Chains A and B, each alone.
Chain A
């Protein structure tokens, strides 16, 4: 079973920030939080990951709570092309045990 829970769907107005929450209350100290998105039936695309600190790249920002039990992916200015299913997963770094499980994710609809 997936170790994360996400709302099944969200809407966001075009041009506004999209804030996608993820709960990972059983995360272990050596597990990273990763975010992916999947557009139509393409392969999931990596967005960002983090361990403890907040992270930002050209696509998004990742805010991880201090207790690491939840996180939020922020798309600062959502466009219609950001309509996709967004997956939050946790993954242990650097070991051979690597059972990466995806949950159902959040279906984000960006509305004009």
Chain B
């Protein structure tokens, strides 16, 4: 079991640039979550998908943020244009959406926008 795989591990970019974060969930999992973590705000849920369909994106901070899940094995979180306040660690998690399966988190992408 390879676990949830996120890439890149670190991203440094300049303000105004487009940033794409990637996530490969655990095979067979049908729920996927994107979180953002900062010292000030803790772990914030941005959006979650069930069977590749976005269910709730109310946590997405603004229109600069978008997320897609084109298939069961891949998801992206895009920020366009990026701003310094977007600097954070972004986590992806996946889960089986049946029974009481736990969320499994990736190791995160540390984004720095200068």
Contacts and interface: CB of A to CB of B under 8 A. Distances in A.
- Which range contains the number of A residues in contact with the other chain? 20 to 34
If over half of A's interface residues share one DSSP class (helix, strand or loop), that class is named, otherwise mixed; here it is loop
Interface residues of B, number: 29
A14 B86 CA distance: 38
Contact of B102 (A49, A97, A99): A49
Contacts of B12: none
A45 interface: yes
Contacts, number: 68
Contacts of B48: 98-100
B61 to A, nearest CB: 16
27 contacts: A32-B100, A36-B102, A36-B103, A41-B37, A41-B89, A42-B108, A43-B105, A43-B106, A43-B108, A44-B43, A46-B102, A46-B103, A46-B104, A49-B100, A49-B102, A94-B97, A94-B99, A96-B50, A97-B55, A98-B31, A98-B33, A98-B55, A98-B95, A100-B33, A100-B103, A103-B42, A105-B42
Interface of A: 32, 34, 36, 41-46, 49, 51, 87, 91, 93-105
